[in-house]
Structure 1
Amino acid sequence: MAEAAGPLDGEGERILVVGPSWVGDMVMAQSLFKTLKARRPGCRIGVVAPGWSRPILERMDEVDEVAGLEVGHGEFGLASRRQLAASLKGRFDRAIVLPRSWKSALVPFLARIPRRTGFTGEQRFGLLNDRRALDKATLDQTVKRFVALGLPREVAETGDFALPRPSLRLDIDNLVEQRVALGLSSRPAIGMMPGAEYGPAKQWPLAHFRGLARALVVEGFEVRILGGPKDLDAGEVIAEGLPHTHNLCGRTRLADAVDLLGDCRQVVTNDSGLMHVAAAVGTRVQALYGSSSPAYTPPLTENAEIHYLALDCSPCFQRTCPLGHTDCLKRLTPERVLKAVLAAMP
């Protein structure tokens, strides 16, 4: 994947996409990339993205170039944005800005990209010259909003357009290496993702995960718990003392997680970034929803079952339960999820 190669003579439109800052959103952005490639054969797509997202973008056939922006989450980083913009000047015909923040539109503006498309937000009137109004009722899913920015205005405003599903490539050689290095078995694997970066109101109780893991081991499965370093303790609560249960949180790179999820028969997961990764590699998803809505951020696959109680108080979209009980997740029992997992096995 090219880092700094200039445009070639005879190339199609050169499009720079300013990508989102979350794993799940970056996976969903592939639906936009697929749409652009289908509508503009021969176009080249570059993506402005934080360094952590490179392993995801490198698994997307549609991405020709990654322009790394090394700015911390929430950090303004004007010097870094200026430096990146200088390296991109004259290299792109159009920019599409997916985040709605003011700072996210700076790089295309400073790079003097002629056409800069994005939703109106945070007083970006001088930074964007193709501003779109966001009708949240029509564009009622994150992925719809991403794809809409790659479509003509009259099509986007209808909300009636195709949403190509993300599809990440697997690296089988890396998978074999990881299975050996991590001491994984030949048992059929079920992945578990207990983390949710947004907050605890999206997290199924760890006791439920542990009860399910214990039952799955009895049924003959290996359990793989995946997540980042912050999920290490949660993984230990689930795995402690259980045979054939591996706490891999913090022990794998994001690229490794892609391959290990692709090797699982199914995954049981909160509404999280890794849920979208699992969907994009074709693994059966048992998706657990509490404070968030499966209508807004569903796994983009037909190979999924949604577990959502739709209580009167949900979805609240809060980081922590405003009522203090998180019944929307506590009342989703391990027995219910186990039944769904077993029913979906061939």
Structure 2
Amino acid sequence: MKTKILIIGPSWVGDMVMSQSLYITLRELNPNCLIDVLAPAWCRPVLERMPEVNEALEMPFGHGEFNLSGRWKLGKSLKSNDYTHAFVLPRSAKSAFIPFFAGVPNRTGWKGEMRYGLLNDIRADRTVFQYMVERYVGLAYPKEVMMDKTEFRTIKHPSLRVDEDNQTDCLKRFNISDTPIVGICPGAEFGPAKRWPEAHYTKVAETLIREGNQVLLFGGPKDNDVAQLIKGALPEELKERCFNLAGETSLVDAVDLLAACHTVFSNDSGLMHVAAAVGANIVAIYGSSSPKYTPPLSENVQMVNTDIACRPCFKRECPLNHLKCLTELSVEHVIKAYRDLPQLGH
């Protein structure tokens, strides 16, 4: 009987990218398996760039929406797909209903909200693994050998396919030349406690442009104002080499444009993980979060943070109202990290 796997995917861009390491592992363990991923509609462009994924299925419910009857109908509609295994990556009870209603015989996930019965292969304590990607990949193995088989340094990193034709079209659309390109991702959907100050990013952008680079500012519509502040604060003669793309590209276009950058400076955000998965060098800037939990999965990374006593707090907003974990992380520190990237040959 062919192994057919249903993944209940995460709802954040970065988590979805990191989950590819699980799909790679599942295919290594069973090369002929089929993997379908049920996830929000916005995930489809990312999932379609993962060669391990057979089909991206749309999760029709909003984040946090319970809708038990809707989940029952969706589960019943998937029953005819004859899935043999399901892996439920979110920890909520509602995320486990769909494979249960679909009659998937083997349903694996970490212990969460009242999921006994909904899952029949429950892993008790996710904190046995330090990194989120380990918690995903560990589910691929039987619980008896999970700890022995899952090791951070041997996990295969996400690798998103790049569409070079679309990349060329995007560069032409925004009048970006073929001189070296650096990306900056100044936003963070999680909250302000992850966002390095825009004035600091402006100084980084100025330094990079004066060294002969073009700078692309990435993000969603909510990041457009911050990106415009960065560009607007540049000396007038440098502005034509800085491109505010925040809110101007689809996610799939951002994937291909990030792949055109030799280096990407980013807060701890979904786009940071996308940039790592398309092979860019990464300077990862951490405020309230920690590289000891969700580092960019690449060999070509420099991670920077302050060492003040209150971080990491993992809060969306600074509980002490000072954001020193970000404001006291100097431009000089970040530029030094950039120059220390081995791929740049400085």
**TM-score (structure 1 length as normaliser):** 0.93
Match of 2:215 in 1: 223
Choose which of 165, 178, 184 in structure 1 pairs with 2:176: 184
Pairs within 5 Å for 1:154-169: 154-158=144-148, 160-161=150-151, 162-169=154-161
- Give the secondary-structure state (helix, strand or coil) at the position aligned to 1:36: helix
Name the structure where helix makes up a greater proportion of residues. Answer: 2
1:230-289, CA deviations, whole angstroms, 9 ceiling, x for partnerless residues?
A: 111111111125231111001001100110000001000000000000111110000001
Structure 2 unaligned blocks of 5 or more? none
**Structure 1, 155-164 or 62-71: larger mean CA deviation:** 155-164
Pair 1:130-2:121 in alignment = yes
**Structure 1, 73-82 or 180-189: larger mean CA deviation:** 73-82
Distance 1:340 1:243, change over 3 A: farther
Pairs within 5 Å for 1:1-346: 12-90=2-80, 91-136=82-127, 138-158=128-148, 160-161=150-151, 162-240=154-232, 241=236, 242-344=239-341, 345-346=344-345
User: Following the alignment from structure 1 to structure 2, what is the Cα–Cα distance between the partners of residues 236 and 220?
Assistant: 21
User: Following the alignment from structure 1 to structure 2, what is the Cα–Cα distance between the partners of residues 264 and 107?
Assistant: 39
Equivalent AA in structure 2 for residue 153 of structure 1: K
Contact persistence 2:209–2:241 (CA under 8 A): yes
Contact persistence 2:137–2:150 (CA under 8 A): no
- Give the Å deviation of 1:196: 0.8
Contact persistence 1:216–1:338 (CA under 8 A): no
Q: Percent identity?
A: 50
- Give the Å deviation of 1:64: 0.5
Equivalent AA in structure 2 for residue 154 of structure 1: E
User: Following the alignment from structure 1 to structure 2, what is the Cα–Cα distance between the partners of residues 76 and 182?
Assistant: 41
Equivalent AA in structure 1 for residue 29 of structure 2: R
Contact persistence 1:188–1:221 (CA under 8 A): yes
Distance 1:160 1:108, change over 3 A: closer
**Structure 1, 159-168 or 14-23: larger mean CA deviation:** 159-168
Contact persistence 2:126–2:135 (CA under 8 A): no
**Structure 1, 329-338 or 60-69: larger mean CA deviation:** 329-338
Structure 1 unaligned blocks of 5 or more? 1-9
Equivalent AA in structure 2 for residue 208 of structure 1: H
Contact persistence 1:139–1:159 (CA under 8 A): no
- Give the Å deviation of 1:154: 1.5
Equivalent AA in structure 1 for residue 142 of structure 2: P
1:163-192, CA deviations, whole angstroms, 9 ceiling, x for partnerless residues?
A: 110000000000010011111122211100
**Structure 1, 209-218 or 274-283: larger mean CA deviation:** 209-218
Count of residue pairs the alignment pairs up? 335
- Give the secondary-structure state (helix, strand or coil) at the position aligned to 2:284: strand
- Give the secondary-structure state (helix, strand or coil) at the position aligned to 1:243: helix
- Give the secondary-structure state (helix, strand or coil) at the position aligned to 2:107: strand
Equivalent AA in structure 2 for residue 100 of structure 1: R
Match of 1:5 in 2: none
- Give the secondary-structure state (helix, strand or coil) at the position aligned to 2:35: strand
**Structure 1, 38-47 or 183-192: larger mean CA deviation:** 183-192
- Give the secondary-structure state (helix, strand or coil) at the position aligned to 1:62: coil
Equivalent AA in structure 2 for residue 105 of structure 1: A
Contact persistence 1:34–1:62 (CA under 8 A): yes
- Give the Å deviation of 1:219: 1.2
Contact persistence 2:141–2:149 (CA under 8 A): no
Equivalent AA in structure 1 for residue 333 of structure 2: R
User: Following the alignment from structure 1 to structure 2, what is the Cα–Cα distance between the partners of residues 260 and 196?
Assistant: 18
- Give the Å deviation of 1:334: 1.6
Contact persistence 2:186–2:201 (CA under 8 A): yes
